[in-house]
Amino acid sequence: MSSSLALVARYYDAFNHGDWEAMLECLTDDVAHDINQGHRETGRDAFRAFLARMNRSYREELRDVVLMAGSDDARAAAEYVVHGQYLADDEGLPAAHGQRYVLPGGAFFDIRGGRIARISNYYNLQDWIAQVSGG
C-alpha cells in the first residue's frame, strides 16, 4: 500500500472510531477543508471546530471504503457509503429526530510531507435532505 493510501486509511479508521485527535494528527497545520457544497476552511483548529459541530449533530460510520492514489503519492481519493443518524439540528437543515440515512460520498486529498494538506468532500445534499425529511 502506498504511503498516501496508508495515511488516508488511518484517517478514515480514526473517523470510524470517533478518534478526532488521531484524525487531526493526519493533517497539516494549514490543512484546507472544502466542505461539501460550501466554503473552504483552513487550518487544523478550524477542522477541530468542524468535527465538534459534526459530532454534535451526526453519528456516522463509513463503509465500503475504496481508496485510490496518484502515481506520485501526492494525491489520493476515496469513495464510500455513509451510514448515519441525524442527532441534533444543524443550522439551515431540516429538524433532527434521530433519522437514519445511507448516502454515497467521496473525497479528494492532497498529501504533503506525509500529512493531508487538503480534503474536499462530496455527497448529494439533496438526497440526504430527502432521506431525513421522509421524502
pLDDT along the chain (135 residues), means of 10: 91 96 97 92 96 95 96 94 97 94 97 97 95 86
* Confidence (pLDDT) at 37: 83
Q: Can you give the pTM of this predicted structure?
A: 0.93
Backbone angles phi, psi at 95, to 5 degrees: -65, 145
Beta-carbon contacts of 115 under 8 Å, excluding residues fewer than 6 positions away, are 7, 26, 27, 28, 31
* Confidence (pLDDT) at 2: 86
Q: In what order do the strands lie in the sheet with 100-112?
A: 40-42, 27-34, 115-123, 100-112, 75-86, 58-69
User: How crowded is the C-beta side of 103, counted as CA atoms within 13 Å?
Assistant: 22
Closest to 30 in 3D by CA, of 9, 47, 7: 47
Which grid cell sits at 45?
483548529
How many whole angstroms separate alpha carbon 27 and alpha carbon 11? 9
* Fold annotation for 3-133: Nuclear Transport Factor 2; Chain: A, (3.10.450)
